[in-house]
């Protein structure tokens, strides 16, 4: 029996993990969110870990409001960096393995080829910087941890771009969406399935891995596909980043190379539009 702790359990990835793990009798999983444990409270985290033993912690907790982070740096840093330090210290003390979720926003977006795990990070926003600091802290305390960087996460649950587009598709006849930021959407269920493959693997492979769905898209491409598969009669017009200014700078190109995780764990990763179709079908049935 493998004992798991999932933090950020009420978020998109946490709920996707629950959907998979609850059907696996060989796993004993504890799910926690802010209402059960404040991860920024070191004393509370220490007590929590002292009272229970886990084989693996999967840290899905994060401050992900990219633009709000520019005005709330202290709060963002507490959650994305300090909380990770608290988890890492407790995990090291109890020899607990850690799987931590990070982001494509650790890169500056100036590449024109998919980013590999050993490419030099250069975050352009407070969100990206605090996530990179969280990675650094975790590697310092738990060098045997696994860090998974992902991009453009969406699901049937929580707040995300897919659900926003579906809502706007019902409310508006046309919208403008940025066409010059390039990346890859990631269906949370597919990321959860990849994490399950890591847990099931016979050997633990510490280090950084990149995961998203296959393929490349702009936010405009993503929006057009959402409207199509959700059968929304809303016209999507391409606009530039300059036409849609935001508080946080975003990378113009943040496609991630999945070669390492596919080779290490033998994963077959679906194309983003195939997964989008599945997600929308599930969402419309909720």
* Residue 135, both tokens: 């990675």
pLDDT tens digit sequence for 132-171: 999 999 999 999 999 999 999 999 999 999 999 999 999 9
Q: Taking a C-beta distance cutoff of 8 angstroms, is the pair 60, 192 a contact?
A: no
Structure pTM? 0.97
CATH of the domain at 136: 3.40.50.720
Q: Which residue has the tokens 């975050």?
A: 123
How much of the chain exceeds pLDDT 70, in percent? 100
**Number of structural domains, the chain?**
1
In the numeric block, the tokens 């296959």 are attached to 214
For residue 1, what pLDDT is reported? 87
In a domain? residue 229: no
**pLDDT confidence bin for 100, thresholds 50/70/90:** very high
Q: What is the pLDDT of residues 219-259, one digit of tens each?
A: 999 999 999 999 999 999 999 999 999 999 999 999 999 99
Q: Which of 63, 127, 154, 253 is catalytic?
A: 127
Report the pLDDT value the prediction gives residue 185, as an integer from 0 to 100: 99
The whole domain housing 84 covers 2-159+185-214+255-270
**End-to-end alpha-carbon separation of the chain, Å?**
32
Is 54 known to be catalytic?
A: no
Q: How far is CA 2 from the centre of its chain?
A: 23
Rg (C-alpha) for the chain, rounded Å, is 19
* Assigned domain for 222 exists: no
Would 242 be classed as within a structural domain? no
76 lies in a domain? yes
Secondary element (H or E) of residue 128: helix 126-141
Going from the C-alpha of 28 to that of each of 23, 81, 145, 224, 228, the distances in angstroms are 11, 27, 20, 41, 40
Q: Is residue 246 part of a domain?
A: no
Q: Answer yes or no: are the C-beta atoms of 80 and 127 closer than 8 Å.
A: yes
């Amino acid at each position: 029996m493998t004992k798991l702790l999932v933090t950020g359990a009420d978020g998109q990835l946490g709920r996707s993990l629950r959907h998979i793990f609850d059907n696996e009798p060989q796993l004993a999983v504890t799910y926690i969110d802010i209402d059960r444990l404040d991860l920024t409270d070191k004393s509370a985290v220490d007590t929590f870990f002292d009272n229970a033993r886990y084989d693996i912690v999967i840290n899905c907790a994060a401050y992900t409001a990219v633009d709000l982070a520019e005005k709330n740096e202290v709060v963002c840093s507490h959650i994305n960096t300090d909380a990770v330090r608290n988890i890492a210290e407790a995990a090291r003390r109890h020899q607990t393995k850690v799987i931590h979720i990070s982001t494509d926003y650790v890169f500056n977006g100036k590449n024109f080829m998919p980013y590999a795990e050993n490419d030099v990070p250069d975050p352009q926003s407070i969100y990206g910087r605090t996530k990179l600091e969280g990675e650094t802290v975790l590697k310092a305390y738990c060098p045997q941890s696994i860090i998974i960087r992902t991009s453009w996460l969406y699901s049937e649950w929580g707040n995300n771009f897919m659900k926003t587009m579906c809502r706007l598709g019902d409310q508006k006849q046309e919208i403008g969406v940025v066409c010059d930021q390039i990346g890859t959407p990631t269906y949370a269920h597919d990321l959860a399935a990849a994490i399950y493959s890591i847990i099931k693997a016979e050997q633990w492979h510490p280090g950084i891995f990149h995961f998203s769905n296959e393929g490349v898209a702009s936010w405009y491409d993503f929006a057009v596909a959402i409207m199509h598969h959700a059968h929304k009669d809303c016209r999507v017009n391409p606009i530039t980043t300059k036409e849609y200014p935001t508080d946080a700078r975003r990378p113009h190109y943040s496609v991630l190379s999945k070669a390492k995780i596919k080779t290490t764990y033998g994963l077959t990763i679906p194309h983003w539009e195939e997964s989008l179709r599945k997600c929308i079908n599930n969402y419309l049935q909720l």
